[in-house]
Structure 1
Amino acid sequence: MIIRSASIKDLDSINSIEADCFPKAEAATKEVFRERLSVFPEGFLAGEIYGQVIGFINGGLTDSNSIKDEFFESMDFHNPNGKNMVIFGLDVHPSHQKKGYAKELMKAFISMCKEKNISNVILTCKQPLIKYYEQFGYVNQDVSESVHGGSTWYDMNLKL
C-alpha cells in the first residue's frame, strides 16, 4: 500500500468507502468530505493499492481536548493553529480489512502529527475498538460526550 496525501480526485472513492464502513447515521457525507479536503488537505491521507484508494484517515486541528459532535459535520471548528489533531475517521474498505492497512495509515498519521509538532491526537471510538487504539499509545479517557449517530463513544488521547 502506498500512503499519500488525499486530494479532491479521491472524493468518490473516499465517500464510497465511508458508506461501506459506517452506518448511515455515523457516515460523513460527500459534502463533508469535500469541505475537509478543501479546508485542511494536510490532515487527509489516502492508502492505495495499484492506483485504487482502499482506505483513508482524516482529521482537523483544535485546542479542545475532546471531540464535539459539530466537528464531524463542519470544518468551521477547525483551528489552523490548534495544538490537538482530531481524527474524524480511519476507514479501510471491507474487502481489504484485517490486513494491517489501517495500522499503516494510523502510524503514518501519527508520524505526520509528530512532524507538525502536534501535542495530542484525539479520537472517539466504540468500546470494542479501545484495545485496538491502545496499541498505538492512545489512552481511554472514558465515555465521550459525543453521541454522534446515536452511538456510545469513548474519548481516546495520544500524547505526542
Structure 2
Amino acid sequence: DEYVSVERYQEHYRAAPHLCFGYFDGEKLRGFLRGGSQKGEHLPPDLCGAQHDPDGETMVLHLLCVEEQSRRRGIGQGLMKAFIDYVKAKETKVKRIILMCHAELIPVYTRVGFTLVGRAEVKFGKRSWYEC
C-alpha cells in the first residue's frame, strides 16, 4: 500500500537528479536515497513524495532504501551523510532537512542527528508516519 511506480520514480528523478544518491557495489545498486525541497517547515498532509520546489527552504528526505541483504552495513547512514553534506554545501536556500518515517525507524534517524517532531499528518498507505 506504499507502492510507487517506476514511472513516478522517473518523474522524481527528472525533477531533481542532483538529489538522488545511490550506493553501488560494482554495477549493483544496493541503496538509494532521494530528496526534494519544498516551501513550508513541515510535511503537508497530501505529500505523495514527488514534490520538488527549487525555491523551497525545507529539504525533504523522501526516500531511503537499502536492499535487505545489504542492511546493517552502514550503507543507509553513508547515504544520509552524503545527502546532508551535499545539501549543506550546495543547497544554499535550504534552512532545514526533514523526513517522514514509520515508528520503528525513528532510532535510525535520530542516530544521525534528526529529532522527532511528532506524528505526521501525511496520508500514504495504512500505517502512521512520523516527522523528524
Normalised to the residue count of structure 1, the TM-score between the two structures is 0.76
Give the number of the structure with larger relative contact order, counting CA–CA contacts within 8 Å between residues 6 or more apart.
Answer: 2
Moved more, 66-75 or 128-137: 66-75
Q: What corresponds to 1:6 in structure 2?
A: none
Written as runs of structure 1 = structure 2, the 5 A alignment for 1:63-142 is: 63-68=39-44, 70-72=46-48, 74-75=50-51, 78-115=52-89, 116-117=91-92, 118-142=94-118
**SS of the residue aligned with 1:149?**
coil
**SS of the residue aligned with 2:88?**
helix
CA RMSD of aligned residues (A): 1.4
Unmatched tracts of structure 1, length 5 or more: 1-24
C-alpha separation between the residues in 1 aligned to 2:70 and 2:6? 22
Structure 1 residues 73 and 154, CA gap change in structure 2 (3 angstroms): closer
Q: What corresponds to 1:144 in structure 2?
A: 120
% identity of equivalent residues? 26
**Post-superposition shift, 1:68?**
2.7
Normalised to the residue count of structure 2, the TM-score between the two structures is 0.91
Answer yes or no: is the 8 Å Cα contact 1:62–1:82 preserved in 2.
Answer: yes
Answer yes or no: is the 8 Å Cα contact 2:40–2:58 preserved in 1.
Answer: yes
Q: How many residues align?
A: 130
Answer yes or no: is the 8 Å Cα contact 2:38–2:59 preserved in 1.
Answer: yes
Unmatched tracts of structure 2, length 5 or more: none
Structure 1 residues 73 and 121, CA gap change in structure 2 (3 angstroms): closer
Structure 1 residues 113 and 126, CA gap change in structure 2 (3 angstroms): same
Q: What corresponds to 2:34 in structure 1?
A: 58
